[in-house]
Amino acid sequence: MELPLEIIFHNMDPSPALEAHIRDKAQKLLRFFDPILHCRVVVEFSGRRHHQGKLHQVGITVAVPGRDIVANQHPSQRHAHEDIMVAVGDAFDAVRRELEDHARRQRGDVKTHEAKTVP
Q: CATH code at 20?
A: 3.30.160.100
By percentage, how much of the chain surpasses pLDDT 70?
76
Q: How far apart are CA 80 and CA 87, in angstroms?
A: 7
With respect to residue 113, please indicate whether it lies within any of the assigned structural domains: no
Identify the top-confidence range among 60-69, 73-82, 100-109. Answer: 60-69
Does the pLDDT at position 81 exceed 80?
A: no
Q: pLDDT class for 25, splitting at 50, 70, 90? A: very high
The DSSP 8-state label assigned to residue 98 in this structure reads H
Against a cut of 0.85, is the pTM above it? Answer: no
Q: pLDDT class for 83, splitting at 50, 70, 90? A: confident
Residue ranges making up the domain that contains 33: 5-106
Q: pLDDT class for 97, splitting at 50, 70, 90? A: very high
Structural domain count of the chain: 1
